[in-house]
Amino acid sequence: MNEIRREGRMVYFEFMCPACEAQGELGLDPSEGRGPVGCPEKCGAQFVLWKPDRKWVLRCVVQPVFE
C-alpha cells in the first residue's frame, strides 16, 4: 500500500488487510519507529513501514490464514 497523503508527521494509506479484509484509511507516524504494525482489527496480520524511494510504503509481512 502506497501513501495517499501526508499531514504533518502523519502518513496516510488506503489500508486493506489481506487476512481479514478490513478496509479504511490508516494514519501512521514514521518517527515512532519502523517496527511491525498490527492490523487495526487485531487479526494477527503484521505490516512494516518503509521508504524505498520518496514515498512511504506499507507491506504485509505476516498474513494469518483462516479456515
pTM for the whole structure: 0.85
CB atoms closer than 10 angstroms to residue 52: 8
Give the pLDDT of residue 63. Answer: 92
Give the whole-angstrom CA distance, residue 55 versus residue 31: 15
pLDDT mean for each 10 residues of the chain (67 residues): 93 95 94 87 94 91 86
Give the pLDDT of residue 32. Answer: 84
Give the pLDDT of residue 31. Answer: 87
In Å, what is the CA distance from 38 to each residue of 49, 57, 62?
11, 15, 9
Give the pLDDT of residue 10. Answer: 95
